[in-house]
Each structure stands twice: as C-alpha cells, then as structure tokens.
C-alpha cells in the first residue's frame, strides 16, 4: 500500500487546499502568514506484502514497563513519571516473563548477527547488542484483524530484555499484553562513524560523519558519511576489501561483531561495518579467521530504520521499516571536516593541514548524501545533534542507520499484487491475469478466461 499524500496544488499555481484566513482588504487572496502545511506519516503499521516476522514464539506473552533512569520528577525536565507516552528519560523493558518464558524467548530469538558461530548458552542464541539488536514484532493478545503489530528492537542486559525504542501501547495502558513474533533476519548498524538526520514527516534522510571537526586521528574524519555500495571514486575503498577488512584476528584484538577491527595492534573503527557470516577459531594460535562476510553498505530496495543507542528513550515509540527508493551523493562544495558551515572565528583553514582552505561562513558538505525512502518519517532529529551528550533533554546524541536483511525462513507472503495470479502493469495500474483468471485483481477463476 502506498502511503497517502495530501496535494495542496492540483492545478498548477491555483490552490486546491488553502487557509480560510485572507489578506486584509483583499478577500480573494489568502494570507501568506497562514500557509497550509500538510504532513502524513506512518506510526509502525504499514501496508506490506510480506511478513518478515512470521515466527510466533509459542508460550510467551509480555507487557511493557518503564523506569525513570534519571530519577526525574517534577523539576528540570518536567513530570514524566506518570504516562508511558511521556517517559522520555526512561529505560523500557519487556516484563511479566516467567523463568520458563524467558528461556522460550531466548530460544525463539536465536541469532542476531547472521552467524551461529558465536552463539551462547544452551538456548543457542545471541544476547543482542547496540550493533546487532534483536528485532521483534509485538501483537496485542486481544486485538482485531486490522492490528498488524508493532516493531521493537531489544537486547539482553544482565537479567532482562531492554528495548532500544520506547514502545508504548497505542492506548497507553501498561496492562496490555502482547504476543511475540521473531525473525531469523538480521538488524545491523551500518556504521558507527556516520549518523542520520531527518525531519518529521519527510521522505529524505541525510547522512554525515559523526565527529563535528577534524581530530588528531588523521584523515578518517574527512569521510562525509556516504553509506552507499557505490564502488566508484567516492566510496569504493570503504566497500571493497582493504586494510579495514583484515581476515585474521587474535583473541586480544577487537571482535568483529563490535564493529572494531585491529590492525597492527591498534583498534581502527571501520567506516562501513562488516557482517561476518562464518568464522573459525584456532585455539592453538588464539586466533580466529573470517571465512565469509558481507559489507553492510546500502543499496536501493534495502530496508532500513534509525536508532539512537546512547539514549533509547529518544527514539520513536513506534518503529517503521523504510525501503530505500533512491540513494544519491552530491558533490562536496568545500570542506569535509565540519558539517554545516565553516568557522566564523579564526583564520581560514584553521582546522589543520588535513582540511582544505575555506573562507569563513562557506557552505560545507552537509546534506550531500541523500537517501529517499518509501514512507515519511514519524520522528525528527535535532540538526545540531552530536556525539557529545551532556544533557539528555537536548537530544544531542547521534542517530545511526540500521539495515534489516530478511531471512527466507521467517518470511511469509500473505498479500500479493494481482492476487499472485497475474502481472501488474505499473504504468496503467492494471493487472495482466494469467490464463484461467479474471477480474481487475485476477481474483476470480474462470474457464472462459483460458
């Protein structure tokens, strides 16, 4: 199902939808100060042909609880302790789980990082992490056929399942209970070194690097956050095998699943993470060797979402899964070092030898990496967000892009265009039915149609 749109101009410059406030003295001209702005977005329930979370976890039902982790009541951030929908400083978790249900859910979750070689415990599962959280679907136990459920990202911390998005019931009742549906698919952070910016009810996502300015680390911060799989001049060395994708790792070096790779004893974070699908460990040499992996970059048709892992309560309560319709990179105009504008004080080029010279106030590279998605976002990011967080109320921590790779064993196609009995002509919006089927949707079988 395509997301609905509200068009304010159907006939050129003549308004089809406008404000009823008119200019003083000119009753035929709407007031420019009373513009009509329309926003349409999806809150977790979207039209889908395929269910990627078709694995029901039998015998497990959960509820939601939230704990005010900062101890904030009526004060600096206001009273956010009463309503789940307002508990923005809270830690959310799955609750009402018996010991038996915890064991069942662990078994249902299984892998989170596309490989079983590092699974743990008798349940043969991964705890989940900031890089590889488990993605599940929650469906109310008492519901209607129109309720498709809601996505939630979780990980196991000490003795509980913690949510990375502050999911709250649509009716804001903490007593609601949910069935849990899991997937063998993988949700993985694309890069620790790039963050996403997006406005509310917008279909464009912008990516840039995480640090705001260059540092003594060298050229790495000059990357502009391009996450595409393009192997041309712009991103090829970060996507293809290089020194950032070494194949051998010792026990004392960084673990691949953490997104950090060791080279010559020094930890070097990758620009774009690898997802390791198989590796072997040599206990004699205390070394593991990667047998296969894929680069976790982005292409058209990939499925993505966005998470702030430093402060999960800042994430949207209802997660959407977005499909990439277009990913493009514009040319960098001036410096790659800063994100928005050049320094307004100090001499030009004062950020060091690695930065190109630029004049004060020049426009820089921000918004050159653009991702168009199929659904309008139901959340927004502060344009000044950075990795340095001193006050959770300012929402100043980065949002990362996560890529979801479905698994065929957990995918059920319950809706198909043309009733799965024909081919859709996207130019005309009509179905070309296979022999033996008829009607606009090819839903009727008829011997006359042979």
CB-CB contact of 60 with 187 (8 Å): no
Question: Which pLDDT score, from 0 to 100, does residue 364 have?
Answer: 58
30 and 154 share one domain? no
Q: State pLDDT tens for residues 333-361.
A: 655 555 555 444 444 434 443 444 445 44
Q: Does residue 137 form part of some domain?
A: yes
Query: Are 77 and 158 within one domain?
Result: yes
Please tell me the predicted confidence (pLDDT) of residue 4: 83
Tokens coding 321: 């899964």
Residues near 224 by Cβ (< 8 Å), separated by ≥ 6? 208, 209, 332, 336, 365, 368, 369
User: What does 329-348 look like in DSSP terms, one character per residue?
Assistant: EPPP-S-SSSSSB--SSS-T
Other Cβ atoms closer than 10 A to 441: 16
Instruction: Tally DSSP H helices, then E strands, for the chain.
Output: 2, 26
- Structural domain span for residue 444: 422-449
Q: Which two tokens stand for residue 15?
A: 């308004």
Integer Cα distance of 193 and 97 in angstroms: 36
Domain limit, last residue, from 189, 221, 253: 189
Pairing of strands 26-30, 50-51: unpaired
- Domain assignment present for 61: yes
On whether both 105 and 33 belong to a single domain, the answer is no
Last residue of a domain, one of 189, 207, 236: 189
Residue 312 lies in a domain: no
Domain identity same for 58 and 177: yes
Q: How is residue 423 written in tokens?
A: 């081919």
Residue in the structure block whose two tokens are 């979750």? 109
Domain count, the chain: 3
Task: Tell me: do 173 and 109 sit in the same domain.
Answer: yes
Per-residue burial over 256-285, b = 16 or more CB atoms within 10 Å of its CB, e = otherwise: bbebbbbeeeeebbbbbbbbbbebeeeeee
Clarify whether residues 142 and 30 are in a common domain. no
Per-residue pLDDT tens over the stretch 216-244: 344 445 577 889 988 766 677 777 654 44
In a domain, 396, yes or no: no
Within a domain: 437: yes
Q: Which of 166, 189, 212 is the last residue of a domain?
A: 189
CA distance 237 to 234: 8
| β-strands 248-250, 287-295 pairing | antiparallel
Domain presence at residue 212: no
Phi, psi values for residue 30, rounded to 5°? -60, 150
400-447 pLDDT per residue, tens: 999 999 999 999 887 788 888 899 888 888 999 999 999 998 989 987
Bridge partners, 162 (sequence order) = 93, 155
Radius of gyration from C-alpha coordinates of the chain: 25
Give pLDDT, residue 333.
60
Distance CA 81, CA 181 (A): 29
Identify which of 198, 55, 204 has the alpha carbon closest to the alpha carbon of residue 135: 55
Mean pLDDT of 78-84: 38
Co-location of 10 and 70 in the same domain: no
Considering only CA atoms, which of 42, 3, 39 is closest in space to residue 319?
42
Same domain, 2 and 108: no
Is there a domain that residue 62 lies in?
yes
Residue 14 shares a structural domain with residue 132 = no
pLDDT computed for residue 337 by the predictor = 55
Report the chain's mean pLDDT, rounded to a whole number: 75
Inform me whether the pLDDT recorded for 205 exceeds 70. Answer: yes
Neighbours of 22 (CB within 10 A): 14
Do 62 and 181 lie in one domain? The reply is yes
Residue 108 scores a pLDDT above 50: yes
Q: How far is CA 232 from CA 206, 257, 304, 328, 337, in A?
A: 20, 27, 23, 13, 21
How does pLDDT run across 381-403, given as a tens digit for each residue?
876 544 443 333 444 578 999 99
Q: What is the CB neighbour count within 10 angstroms for residue 242? A: 12
Task: Give dist(CA 184, CA 201) in Å, integer.
Answer: 30
Q: How large is the average pLDDT for residues 172-189?
A: 89
Residues in Cβ contact with 136 at an 8 Å cutoff, skipping those fewer than 6 apart: 53, 109, 151, 152, 153, 154, 180, 181, 182, 183
Q: What is the largest CA-CA distance in the chain?
A: 89
pTM reported for the whole predicted model: 0.79
Average pLDDT of span 85-94: 61
Residue 363 structure tokens = 């426009």
Beta strands (DSSP E) in 270-340 are 274-282, 287-295, 303-307, 322-329
Tell whether 336 is covered by a domain. no
Closest CA to 44 of 194, 193, 178, 208: 178
Does an H or E element contain 222, and which? none
- Between CA 4 and CA 6 the distance in angstroms is 7
Do both 184 and 54 map to the same domain? yes
- Higher pLDDT, residue 120 or 246: 120
Residues 21 and 149 in one domain: no
């Amino acid at each position: 199902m395509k997301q609905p749109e509200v068009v304010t101009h159907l006939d050129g410059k003549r308004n089809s939808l406008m404000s009823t406030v008119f200019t003083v003295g000119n009753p035929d001209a709407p007031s420019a100060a009373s513009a009509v702005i329309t926003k349409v977005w999806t809150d977790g329930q979207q039209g889908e042909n395929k269910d990627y979370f078709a694995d029901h976890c039998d015998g497990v039902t959960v509820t939601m609880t939230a704990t005010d982790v900062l101890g904030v009541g009526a004060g600096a951030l206001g009273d956010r302790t009463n309503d789940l929908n307002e508990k923005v400083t809270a830690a959310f978790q799955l609750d009402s789980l018996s010991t038996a249900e915890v064991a069942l859910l662990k078994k249902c979750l299984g892998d989170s990082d596309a490989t079983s070689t590092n699974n743990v415990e008798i349940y043969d599962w991964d705890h989940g992490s900031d890089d590889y959280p488990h993605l599940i679907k929650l469906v109310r136990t008492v519901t209607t056929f129109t309720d498709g459920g809601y996505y939630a990202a979780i990980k196991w911390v000490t003795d509980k399942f913690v949510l990375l998005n502050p999911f709250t019931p649509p009716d804001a009742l903490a007593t609601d209970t949910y069935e849990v549906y899991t997937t063998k698919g993988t949700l993985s952070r694309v890069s620790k070194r790039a963050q996403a910016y997006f406005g509310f009810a917008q279909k464009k996502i912008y990516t840039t690097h995480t640090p705001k300015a260059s540092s003594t680390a060298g050229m790495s911060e000059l990357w502009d956050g391009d996450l595409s799989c393009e192997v041309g001049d712009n991103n090829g060395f970060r996507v293809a095998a290089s020194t950032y994708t070494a194949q051998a790792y010792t026990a004392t070096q960084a673990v691949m699943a953490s997104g950090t790779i060791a080279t010559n004893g020094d930890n070097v974070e990758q620009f774009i993470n690898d997802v390791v699908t198989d590796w072997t460990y040599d206990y004699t040499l205390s070394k593991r060797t990667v047998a296969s992996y894929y680069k976790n970059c982005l292409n058209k048709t990939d499925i993505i979402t966005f998470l702030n892992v430093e402060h999960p309560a800042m994430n949207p309560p209802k997660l959407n899964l977005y499909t990439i319709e277009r990913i493009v990179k514009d040319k960098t105009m001036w410096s790659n070092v800063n994100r928005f504008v050049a320094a307004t004080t100090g001499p030009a080029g004062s950020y060091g030898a690695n930065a190109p010279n630029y004049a004060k106030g020049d426009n820089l590279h921000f918004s050159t990496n653009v991702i168009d998605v199929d659904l309008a976002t139901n959340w927004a990011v502060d344009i000044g967000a950075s990795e340095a967080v001193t006050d959770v109320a300012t929402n100043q921590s980065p949002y990362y892009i996560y890529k979801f790779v479905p698994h065929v064993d957990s995918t059920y196609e319950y809706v198909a265009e043309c009733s799965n009995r024909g081919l859709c002509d996207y130019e005309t919006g009509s179905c070309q039915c296979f022999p033996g089927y008829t009607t606009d949707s090819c839903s009727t079988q008829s011997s006359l149609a042979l």
